[in-house]
Chain A
Amino acid sequence: ETGVTQTPRHLVMGMTNKKSLKCEQHLGHNAMYWYKQSAKKPLELMFVYNFKEQTENNSVPSRFSPECPNSSHLFLHLHTLQPEDSALYLCASSQGGTGKTADTQYFGPGTRLTVL
């Protein structure tokens, strides 16, 4: 596997379900990101992890719970979601670290989530 992979690619869940999205990067990066892409809205940054430390939480509701067990894996745990949470959830990774230059983020194919 190369690049950034995400599973599942499609997910349909009810509002009372609990599910998890998985992201894995094979690029040797240290930073990982979750984004939400809704129809007709700009991509919204949700969470950032750098060396497994959460460095950004963009006022995301607690029904979304991220987990980063190591620099290669990132999860997004979902529970009691709302229909308006239906969207494409994209994972990305970048070199990260303490450098001064902006890294390029590389994205996975996304998980298309539908909440019924």
Chain B
Amino acid sequence: AQKVTQAQTEISVVEKEDVTLDCVYETRDTTYYLFWYKQPPSGELVFLIRRNSFDEQNEISGRYSWNFQKSTSSFNFTITASQVVDSAVYFCALSERGLSISNFGNEKLTFGTGTRLTIIP
């Protein structure tokens, strides 16, 4: 069975500090996909990144960066120079690609429990 663990329930940092959100996953699939989503107080889950299991290259997007390490089954997310607008709950997720009897793709995302990040002005 797939599992995603976000051990950090809540993190608070002062604005402009760097912060890393941890994500550890378990899967028996050789092909899988990892995601990060942001959930601001409005409730909507905002897609941040998708990474497939064959691409271990780290990714940087502005102040956001992701470190994918298959050897430790981790997909950590770092925000540099944090801002108040970064305050949200962040979810890591793992996908399992199943097929229904009619052979349609069937996405099943397994989410972690989320990390609530608070940026203190």
- Closest chain-B Cβ to A25's Cβ sits at a distance in Å of 13
Contact (Cβ within 8 A) B43 A88: yes
The answer on a CB contact under 8 Å between B43 and A110 is: yes
- The verdict on A106 contacting B47 (CB below 8 Å), with A33-B107, A50-B104, A56-B100 known, is yes
Query: In the bound complex, how far is the Cα of B43 from the Cα of A27, in angstroms?
Result: 20
Known: A50-B106, A56-B100, A108-B44. A102 touches B33 (CB 8 A): yes
- Which residue on A lies nearest to B91, using beta carbons? A43
Give B97 Cβ to nearest chain A Cβ, in Å. 5
Question: What is the predominant secondary structure among interface residues of chain A facing chain B?
Answer: loop
CB distance from B15 to the nearest CB of A (A): 26
Q: Are B105 and A107 in touch, CB under 8 angstroms?
A: no
**A102 CB to closest chain B CB, in angstroms?**
4
A-B contact count (CB 8 A): 83
Q: How many residues of B contact A (CB 8 A)?
A: 30
User: Are A53 and B107 in contact, with the CB atoms below 8 A?
Assistant: no
Query: Judging by beta carbons under 8 Å apart, are A55 and B44 in contact?
Result: no
Q: Mark A57-99, 1 if CB is under 8 A from B, else 0.
A: 0000000000000000000000000000000101010101111
Interface size class of A (residues with CB under 8 A): 20 to 34
| Set of chain A residues within 8 Å of B33, measured between Cβ atoms | 101-102
Knowing A56-B100, A90-B45 are in contact, say whether A97-B109 is a contact too (CB < 8 A): no
CB interface residues, B 32-53, toward A, < 8 Å:
32-33, 35, 37, 42-47, 50, 52
User: Do A98 and B106 touch across chains, with their CB atoms under 8 A apart?
Assistant: no
Contact A42 B113 (CB under 8 A): yes
A21 within 8 A of B: no
Indicate whether B90 reaches chain A with its CB closer than 8 angstroms.
no
Tell whether B71 is near chain A: CB-to-CB under 8 Å. Answer: no
